[in-house]
Every structure is written in structure tokens, then in C-alpha cells.
Amino acid sequence: MSASLPPAIKDDFPLLSRSVHGRPIVYLDSAATSQKPRAVLDAMAVYYATVNANVHRGAYEIAAQATEAMEGARRAVARFVNAASANEIVFTKNVTEAINLVARSWGGANLGPGDAVLVTEMEHHANIVPWHIMAAERGFELRWIPLTPDGRLDLENLDRLLDGVKLVGCTAMSNVLGTLNPIRRLADAAHGAGALLLVDAAQYVPHLPTDVQALGADFLGFTGHKMCGPTGIGVLWARAELLDAMPPFLGGGEMILDVRKDGFLPNEIPHKFEAGTPPIAEIVGLGAAVEYLSGLGMDRVREHEVSLTAYALRTLSERYGDDLVVHGPPEPAARGGVLSMAYRDVHPHDVSQVLDQHGVCVRAGHHCAKPLMRQLGVGATARASLYVYNDESDIDALADALAEAGELFAW
């Protein structure tokens, strides 16, 4: 474990104490979902055991406590990303829902024939498919920022690409390449062209200090389950004036102030976008995850991951040379701890299955990024992804297990 984080941090995560196939588990799939510390598990259990009630409408004691637990978590999330107000934090199911909310609500009200939306070739499907759907309905153009050979954005023709664009959608960190994108530069360029910037920060917020105001974004989404929190809870942050102007995304309870036979009056933000009973326990769990990560210190989290990524790249290169390719920028400081690998001619799913027999958990597939896979000229990769609870022994276990895959599939 890096000196920047406590060496006993694995003890905070109960699942990491178990074995699979008779071997200690080595969890290297945090880009898909992270493990949960006891602090998060306990917070959710305490909520259900002591204050379980619906929020905002009850006048009795535990209903008020449940409301405070949820709204306290909202305030904690706002502090974590330096939002100007907790009212700019909208709880969603995940980043996918957050982006769909923007596409359907803001896009439905602002996009039409003659307009364009600009995304990058490294986007997750969650930041592609909603725009395809809306383009088919509204008749606007979908454009693409290309990539350089080393997996960065090719911004040479950005001014031309921005002509007529109303919104730019970009991942802050690629879930395949690990590339850290220049969000502030994109924000300034987008605003200079009269466009807004939407950031998919699913891979960024869990790993780096995040200041939405300094980034200059207009919309930014992230998800709880990749940052030590539970599944089923995500966040859309947006500037308050944008949320105020946008129509509701879903209709029903909680998102209204009044309903009449001839219409309705929507609630104030953020509740206008939170129809129905929210996932209260999951929100409480996200709040606990934010407090846990804040206690570690996000600067220290980033320092740890840069150091561990450097060790991983060095170890894999020394052990396997040209037999193994890690896609994306070669400099650890320019990327996150996401290692998408091509190992000889061994299929990524075969690599993953062999690693599993050694207790090493990695993800194999297209990682919901098929346009990027086509740019890389591959159908899939085996992806190892790092987080706060990983250390050099996990990288050594990965490297040793890869040797077995090479021997097993040697022709």
C-alpha cells in the first residue's frame, strides 16, 4: 500500500477478506463497481433499523430524521464536488440516468434541426445512445471528436467541430483508456462557441479531487457504486439556472407543488427532478461513502493511484514486453488506474477466466464503448482497474496469473 494511504485500508472492506477458488481474492474491477467499506454498510443498516420512513412529507419524528439523513447526504455530496448549492445536486439512479435526464429535458427543449451535439470517440454508451435517440427525434447532428494514436483527444480541429454545436459531451476519464481529458479547456472552448459542456465523471469523481466550479462544466454526472457507495444511486450536478429553466424529466409524486385538472406546478430544484419515493437508504450510503473518501483525502487517493499505476505499467512491461499492450497514454500522471490489456493473441475472455482461477477479478468485454473498440481495432479487452484498497501485491498477483494464461494458450 502506498505510504499516502493507511496500510490496513483493506480491512475496511469486508468482501476483500474472502477467497475464491481457494485463493485470496484480488479485486481489480473497480471501474465497473467498487467494493464497499463497513462505514457504508453500517450507515445503511442503521438507517433501516432506526429511522426507516418516507421523506419530506411526514410530520412525525422518524420521518423528520429520515429527511435529514437524506438531505444531509445531499449537502455532503455538494461539498465533495464543491457545488455552489446543495440544490444543484439531483439524485438519479446512476450516470446513465443523469445523462438521459439532460438529453430528454434540456435537449428536448433546446435542440432541433440545424443544431449539433459534439461527443468524443472514447465515450461510454451512456453518453452516446441518448444523443442518438434524441437526434432521431429532434433532427440535430451528432458529431465526434477523434482520438490520437496514444488515446488522447485530437483537438486540432476543435473550432471547426464546434461550429453550430449547442452541447459538448465528454468523459472526464475514459473507462477503457484511463485518459484524463482537458475538461477546463473543453469548457472554455464550448462556452466560446455558445455551447454547454456535459461531463461524464463516473470514473473521475471516485479517483480525483473534483471541483465542478473550477472545471467550468455545466452538467456533470457521477455514480455511487464506483466510489465506495451502493448501487442504484447516482448524481447529476448542474448549474442552478439551467435546472430552473429545464422541464421535469419524470412526472408523479414529490416533483410537484400543485396538481389541478388543468395542469400542474412543478416543485423547486432539485426536487423537480426527483419524482416518487427516492432510494433513501442508498442516498444515505452515498453520503457515508463521500465521508469515507473525504477522510482518506482525495489528494492522497490520487497520489496512491498514480504510484500504483506506475508500478503496474512498469511491472507488466518488464514481465511481458511487446507481448502485452496496455491501451491509452503511457504516462501514469496522464491517466487513471484503468489498464485495458491485449495479451498476445489470447482472447480477453480467456484471459479473464484464467485470472479468475487465481482469484484475480478483471473485466473482459467492450466496456460499453463499442465505437472506441472499433477505433482501437479490437473487439474487446481485458481490463484491470485499481482503487484505494489495491496495492503492489495485487499487481504482482495479476502479473503471475497472466503468465499462466500465456502458458495455457501457447500454440
C-alpha cell at 153: 483527444
- The domain boundary residue, chosen from 295, 326, 343: 295
Is 298's pLDDT higher than 70? yes
CB count in 10 Å sphere of residue 3? 10
Residue 145 lies in a domain: yes
Q: Are 220 and 191 in contact (CB under 8 A)?
A: no
Give yes or no: residues 66 and 147 share one domain.
yes
Give yes or no: residues 333 and 243 share one domain.
no
Give yes or no: residues 120 and 200 share one domain.
yes
- Residues 37-57 have pLDDT tens digits of 999 999 999 999 999 999 998
Give yes or no: residues 253 and 324 share one domain.
no
Give yes or no: residues 250 and 359 share one domain.
no
- Residues 4-22 have pLDDT tens digits of 788 889 999 999 999 999 9
CA distance from start to end of the chain: 37
Is 3's pLDDT higher than 60? no
Give yes or no: residues 285 and 360 share one domain.
no
Instruction: State residue 411's pLDDT score.
Output: 53
Residue 4 lies in a domain: no
Residue span of the structural domain in which 366 resides? 9-30+297-408
CATH number of the domain bearing residue 242: 3.40.640.10
Residue 3 lies in a domain: no
The sign of the torsion formed by the CA atoms of 46, 235, 291, 336 equals positive
Residues assigned a catalytic role: 368
Give yes or no: residues 290 and 311 share one domain.
no
Give yes or no: residues 137 and 267 share one domain.
yes
Residue 1 lies in a domain: no
Is 2's pLDDT higher than 80? no
CATH number of the domain bearing residue 364: 3.90.1150.10
pLDDT band at 154 (very low <50, low <70, confident <90, very high): very high
Instruction: State residue 183's pLDDT score.
Output: 98
Query: Which residues neighbour 406 within 8 Å (Cβ) at sequence distance 6 or greater?
Result: 320, 323, 343, 344, 346
Instruction: State residue 59's pLDDT score.
Output: 86
Instruction: State residue 269's pLDDT score.
Output: 96
Q: Are 198 and 237 in contact (CB under 8 A)?
A: no
CA 143/CA 135 separation, integer angstroms:
11
pLDDT band at 410 (very low <50, low <70, confident <90, very high): low
pTM of the shown model: 0.96
CA 204 to chain centre: 6
CA 298/CA 276 separation, integer angstroms:
33
Is 406's pLDDT higher than 60? yes
Instruction: State residue 58's pLDDT score.
Output: 78
Give yes or no: residues 199 and 113 share one domain.
yes
Mean pLDDT of 308-331: 97
Is 407's pLDDT higher than 90? no
Residue 284 lies in a domain: yes
Instruction: State residue 62's pLDDT score.
Output: 96
Residue 310 lies in a domain: yes
Give yes or no: residues 80 and 56 share one domain.
yes
- The domain boundary residue, chosen from 264, 295, 326: 295
Give yes or no: residues 284 and 345 share one domain.
no
Is 290's pLDDT higher than 80? yes
**Per-residue DSSP letter, 276:** S
Instruction: State residue 408's pLDDT score.
Output: 74
Instruction: State residue 171's pLDDT score.
Output: 98
Number of domains in the chain: 2
Is 1's pLDDT higher than 80? no
Instruction: State residue 409's pLDDT score.
Output: 73
Residue 2 lies in a domain: no
Instruction: State residue 6's pLDDT score.
Output: 80
- Residues 181-232 have pLDDT tens digits of 999 999 999 999 999 999 999 999 999 999 999 999 999 999 999 999 999 9
CB count in 10 Å sphere of residue 214? 12
Is 377's pLDDT higher than 60? yes
Mean pLDDT of 79-100: 98
- The domain boundary residue, chosen from 295, 311, 335: 295
Query: Which residues neighbour 184 within 8 Å (Cβ) at sequence distance 6 or greater?
Result: 214, 215, 216
Instruction: State residue 70's pLDDT score.
Output: 98
Give yes or no: residues 178 and 321 share one domain.
no
Residue 135 lies in a domain: yes
Mean pLDDT of 229-249: 98
Q: Are 317 and 362 in contact (CB under 8 A)?
A: no
